[in-house]
Amino acid sequence: MEKIEAKRRIVLVPVPAQGHITPMMQLGKSLNLKGFLITVVQGLFNQVSSSSQQVSGFQFVTIQESFPESELERLGPIEFLIKLNKTSEANFKDCIAQLLLQQSNENIVCIIYDEFMYFCGVAAKEFKIPSVIFSTSSATNQVSRCVLSKLNAEKFLFDMKDPEVQDKVVENLHPLRYKDLPISGVGPLERLLELCREISNKRTAFAVMINTVSCLESSSLTRLQQELGIPVYALGPLHITASATSSLLEEDRSCVEWLDKQKPRSVIYISLGSIVKMETKELLEMAWGLLNSNQPFLWVIRPGSIVRSEWIESLPEEVSKMVIERGYIVKWAPQKEVLGHPAVGGFWSHCGWNSTLESIVEGVPMICRPFDGEQKLNAMYIESVWRIGIQLEGEVERKGVERAVTRLIVDEEGAEMRERALGLKEKLNASVRKGGSSYNALDELIKNLKTE
C-alpha cells in the first residue's frame, strides 16, 4: 500500500506572497503525511528555501519570470498577477514536461495551484493532468469574486452611487451587502473584474479546496458550490493539521520571553501582516492610543511597512522612546506561538485570512483594522457574524485606539467576545479531528485524487 502511494506526486504552485505560501506549504505537508511526494514550483520572487522544509518527499523547482521583482512594487497586486500569469504559462509547461520526463517511475497525480496562478490550468489540461484550485482566502471572498466576475464595471460604479443599491444584500449572501464586495484598495475596478473573469474562464480544475472551515461560513460554501458547479472542499485551518516552516522573514523569538513576564490575557498583540503599508500619521495615532491605554503591547512593525520610511524613524524621538520602554517591538514575530501565549488578551489585526484563522484557533478576540477589500470582508464577519472583535472604522485616532484596547482587554464586552472566540476554537479543533468536517473533506479529496 505504502509503496504505491510513495510514487504519487503532487505539484504545488503558490502565489509568491507570505499569506499564500504559508497555507500552500501546510497543505503540502498534510498531503505528504498522507503519502504523496510533493514538488513545489516557484518563481524567483519570495522563494521558500528548500532547506526550511526539513522533510523528505519535498522537491523545489524554479521557473523564471521574465520580469524583475521591482515590477511588483510598481504594478500593484492586480497588474502584477495578470502579468505573472501571461509570462509564466510557457515556462510552466516546460517545467511540467521536464518533470514528466525525469520521473519515469512516478505519476504526477495532480497539479494544485493557487487560484491566482490560473496559467497552471492551461498546462494541466494540455498534459491531461487533473488539477485542483487552492484558495487561501475565505469562501465568502470566493463567492464575492464570482459575483464580481459577472458585473459590468461601468454600470456597477454608476448603480453604486445610489445608497439603496449600496445597502442591498447580495442575493443569498446575508449579511454581505453590495458595498461590502471586496473592490477597494486594489486598483481600477475594470482590471480587478478582468482578473476575476480570467480566474473563472481559465478554470479547468475538477475541484476547489479552501483553507476554511464549514462551521465558519457554511452558507457561502453552499453558494460557492452552486456557482462553480464542482466540488468545494473546506479543509482548514491547515496550520493545525500540519505546521510547515515557510516564513520569508526571520522571526524574532525574544518577544516570547517578554510575554512570559506579562500577566495572563493582559497584552494586545499588533500585527498587520506581510504586505500592508501605512502612513506615519496612523503609526503615531496608534502609538499614542496604545500608550494611553496603559495595557502592555507587543507590536510587529515590519521594515518598509511605513510609507517613505525604513522603519520607525519617522516617529518623534520621545514617542519611539516611550513605545520601546512600555511595549515590545519586533520586526517579525512567531505569530502562531504569540497568539497561543497565555499573556495575549487580544489581537489588533489587518484581518488577513491567515491571521484571522490563527486568532480564532487560539480563541483570541480581535481589533480589526482592515486595509483592502478582502480584509474588510473578514473584519465584517469577525465583528458582525462571529462577534469576536471590534472594527476600527474611518481614520485611526488615539482616543478610538485607547477605547478599543480597553473594550477588548479590560471590559466585560471583551470577555464575552473571548468566550465566543473560545467556542469557535473548540469547533475548529473538532473539525480537523477524525470524523470532523475538514478531516473528512481532506479524506474525500484524496480518494478523488486516486480515482481521477
The radius of gyration computed from the CA coordinates of the chain, to the nearest angstrom, equals: 22
CA distances to 9, 56, 97 from 59, rounded to whole Å, are 10, 8, 16
Quick one: residue 192, left, alpha or beta (phi over 0 = left, psi -120 to 50 = alpha)?
alpha
Residue selected from 115, 358, 383, 402 as contacting ligand UDP according to rule CB under 6 A: 358
Among the listed ranges 139-147, 219-227, 351-359, 442-450, the one in contact with ligand UDP (CB under 6 A) is 351-359
355 binds ligand UDP (CB under 6 A): yes
Q: Residue 292 corresponds to which cell in the numbers above? A: 494611553
Minimum CB separation from ligand UDP for residue 210, in Å?
13
Residue selected from 273, 345, 346, 370 as contacting ligand UDP according to rule CB under 6 A: 273
For residues 159 and 152, the answer to whether their CB atoms sit within 8 Å is no
Q: Between residues 122 and 256, which has the closer beta carbon with respect to ligand UDP? A: 256
269 binds ligand UDP (CB under 6 A): no
Say how many C-beta atoms besides its own lie within 10 A of residue 411's C-beta.
Answer: 12
> Which H or E element spans position 60?
strand 58-62
- 129 CB-side CA count, 13 A: 25
Minimum CB separation from ligand UDP for residue 357, in Å?
8
CA separation for the pair 359, 356 (Å, rounded): 5
Residue selected from 12, 110, 234, 300 as contacting ligand UDP according to rule CB under 6 A: 300
Minimum CB separation from ligand UDP for residue 163, in Å?
30
CA separation for the pair 204, 223 (Å, rounded): 20
Amino acid at 77: P
Among the listed ranges 37-45, 154-162, 271-279, 384-392, the one in contact with ligand UDP (CB under 6 A) is 271-279
Residue selected from 274, 293, 359, 391 as contacting ligand UDP according to rule CB under 6 A: 274
Among the listed ranges 7-15, 16-24, 32-40, 285-293, the one in contact with ligand UDP (CB under 6 A) is 16-24
DSSP class of 53: -
247 binds ligand UDP (CB under 6 A): yes
Q: Between residues 273 and 346, which has the closer beta carbon with respect to ligand UDP? A: 273
Q: Residue 236 corresponds to which cell in the numbers above? A: 482548514
Q: Residue 441 corresponds to which cell in the numbers above? A: 473533506
Q: What angle do CA 423, 378, 189 make, to 5 degrees?
A: 165
Minimum CB separation from ligand UDP for residue 350, in Å?
6
Rounded to the nearest angstrom, the gap between the alpha carbon of residue 289 and the centroid of all alpha carbons in its chain is 27
Q: Between residues 237 and 296, which has the closer beta carbon with respect to ligand UDP? A: 237
Residue selected from 5, 7, 19, 87 as contacting ligand UDP according to rule CB under 6 A: 19
- 347 CB-side CA count, 13 A: 35
Q: Between residues 210 and 300, which has the closer beta carbon with respect to ligand UDP? A: 300
Say how many C-beta atoms besides its own lie within 10 A of residue 381's C-beta.
Answer: 24
For the chain, give the number of residues: 452
Indicate the burial class of 167 (C-beta count within 10 angstroms; 0-12, 13-18, 19 or more).
exposed
CA separation for the pair 402, 287 (Å, rounded): 10
Among the listed ranges 228-236, 267-275, 391-399, 407-415, the one in contact with ligand UDP (CB under 6 A) is 267-275
If you search the block for the grid coordinates 495575549, which residue do you land on?
344
275 binds ligand UDP (CB under 6 A): yes
Q: Between residues 353 and 386, which has the closer beta carbon with respect to ligand UDP? A: 353
If you search the block for the grid coordinates 520610511, which residue do you land on?
309
Q: Between residues 336 and 425, which has the closer beta carbon with respect to ligand UDP? A: 336
Q: Which of residues 308-337 bind ligand UDP (CB under 6 A)?
A: 332-333, 335-336
Q: Between residues 228 and 244, which has the closer beta carbon with respect to ligand UDP? A: 244
Minimum CB separation from ligand UDP for residue 102, in Å?
33
Minimum CB separation from ligand UDP for residue 360, in Å?
12
Q: How many helices and strands (H and E) does the chain possess? A: 20, 13
Residue selected from 39, 142, 212, 354 as contacting ligand UDP according to rule CB under 6 A: 354
- Cis bond upstream, residue 130 (ω within 30): no
271 binds ligand UDP (CB under 6 A): yes
Count of residues in contact with ligand UDP, rule CB under 6 A: 18
Residue selected from 10, 22, 295, 359 as contacting ligand UDP according to rule CB under 6 A: 22
Minimum CB separation from ligand UDP for residue 376, in Å?
13
Point out which residues bind ligand UDP (CB under 6 A): 18-19, 22, 247, 271, 273-275, 300, 332-333, 335-336, 352-355, 358
